[in-house]
Amino acid sequence: MAIDGMTNSANLARRLMRAHDTAALATCLPDDGHPHASLVLVAVDHDAAPILLISDLAEHAKNIAADNRVSLLFDGTRGLPSPLTGARLSVQGQAVRNEGAGLRRRFLARHEDAAEYADFGDFSFYSVSVTRGHLVAGFGRIEWIDGDDLLFQAAEACGIADWEAGAVSHMNDDHGDAIQDYAQNLLGATGEGWVMTGCDLEGCDLRRAGEVLRLDFETPAIDTDSLRQRLVDLAHAARAKASS
């Protein structure tokens, strides 16, 4: 069992991972082992394990084929007047090809335009098997987090992966007004046209064109029924805030 401080750090780390749709990917060049960094689109699975879609023609794909150890940097410092006071997380693990339907669905829901090339012969989905993470959460707070603590271990227990697609479609088709309220009244966003792209036991993901938002639950849901109730309660809270 992780200590409370580590649990809080793991929660913060997962929030960083879930909030970002891009990351810096570091791989090793096969000729001399020199680090190679590149920008990649990223999504995460229900347990927060990263998901990538990579072309075999990319330099980092060639590197992974020779040595599948990778690091992904999730940067939460953007827009801060003093960036080094913000949180960032480096996730270490192994990138493995994975064409599972669930990973594909979550990635393409997060990055809808990637559907235009996801089926090209040179593109493959990868899951990252996380070994540990290095969290820097501002000055004086630096921690290594073991992979078992970093990932959300309860994610597979309640069948949420099978439930998610229908629930997200239902929210977008029938409760678009609630999604706008989440974005505008709870998260301070502007503009119309926000859609839900994903939902997990710790929160849900929203998108409008190139903007992404993460709505974290105060405490994780324990099953799909409690998750559904969280969405209802947040809709009520958002409307109450708008009218106050």
Identify the pLDDT of residue 41.
98
Instruction: Decide the pairing of beta strands 43-44 and 50-55.
Output: antiparallel
User: What's 101-170 look like in SS3?
Assistant: HHHHHHHHHHCHHHHHCCCCCCEEEEEEEEEEEEEEECCCCEEEEEHHHHCCHHHHCCCHHHHHHHHHHH
pTM for this one? 0.93
Range(s) within the chain of domains with CATH label 2.30.110.10: 4-155
Burial string for 201-224 (b: 16+ CB within 10 Å, else e) reads bbbbbbbbeeebbbbebeebbeeb
Q: Report angle CA 5, 203, 209 to the nearest 5 degrees.
A: 125
pLDDT of residue 1: 28
pLDDT at residue 157, rounded to an integer: 67
The token duo for 136 is 């820097």
β-strand partners of 204: 199, 215
* Domain 4-155 bears CATH identifier 3.10.450.50: no
Name the CATH superfamily, with its identifier, for domain 160-243: PNP-oxidase-like (3.20.180.10)
- pLDDT tens per residue across all 244 residues of the chain: 233 445 699 999 999 999 999 999 999 999 998 999 999 999 999 999 999 999 999 999 999 999 999 999 999 998 889 888 899 999 999 999 999 999 999 999 999 999 999 999 999 999 999 999 999 997 788 999 999 999 998 877 678 989 999 999 999 999 999 999 999 999 999 999 999 999 999 999 999 999 999 999 999 999 999 999 999 999 999 999 888 7
> Would you state the pLDDT for residue 92?
98
User: Which SS3 state, helix, strand or coil, does residue 3 take?
Assistant: coil
List the structure tokens of 228. Answer: 């559904």
Q: What is the 3-state secondary structure (H, E, C) of 24-60?
A: EEEEECCCCCCEEEEEEECEECCCCCEEEEEECCCHH
Domain(s) of CATH 3.20.180.10: residues in the chain: 160-243
Query: Residue 2: what pLDDT?
Result: 35
DSSP 2: -
Q: Which amino acid is at 105?
A: R
- Cβ contact 223:170 at 8 Å: no
